[in-house]
Structure 1
Amino acid sequence: MLELRPSCECCNKDLPPAAADAMICSFECTFCADCVEHRLGGTCPNCGGGFVARPIRPASKLANNPPSTNRIFNPAGCEPAKVA
């Protein structure tokens, strides 16, 4: 099950479970669409992978499957990964 992290790792913008602009990589690194496009150039700075829109978990499922409350904020690491 997806962790549904609560914020963008670059700008710390809140990304609640229904956020339409939440983007994730295959490792669930979470960023807002603005940072993905304008700061990261579509490449995850942690793993070098690409992004997809994070699915929205139905509100009826949140009580038994809550989103994460663990905020990851690393603005210094918000440069695209150098993949060889």
Structure 2
Amino acid sequence: MRPACESCDRALPAGGEAFICSYECTWCASCVAGFTDAACPNCGGDLQRRPTRSMRA
């Protein structure tokens, strides 16, 4: 999982809110709010909430 937003470089903790496309481009919620049609600016793909990762070992 990428640790920061690709637009503003804001830190994105594993359990925090973030959005990804099918190519795993990663964005914070603030940047996604400004994207046209909530589409990935890199590939035009649909953005979805990034799943959280369990902290279990």
TM-score between the two structures when normalised by the length of structure 2:
0.90
| SS in structure 1 at match of 2:19 | strand
The residue that corresponds to 1:36 in the other structure is 32
Gaps of 5+ in 1: 62-84
Q: Kindly, what percent of the aligned residue pairs are identical?
A: 48
Pairing 1:1-84 to 2, within 5 Å after superposition: 4-19=1-16, 21-38=17-34, 40-41=35-36, 42-61=38-57
| SS in structure 2 at match of 1:35 | helix
- Count of residue pairs brought into register by the alignment: 56
Q: Which has the higher contact order (CA 8 A, sep 6+)?
A: 1
Using the TM superposition, give the Cα deviation of residue 16 of structure 1 relative to its aligned residue in structure 2, in angstroms.
1.2
In angstroms, what is the RMSD of aligned CA positions? 1.0
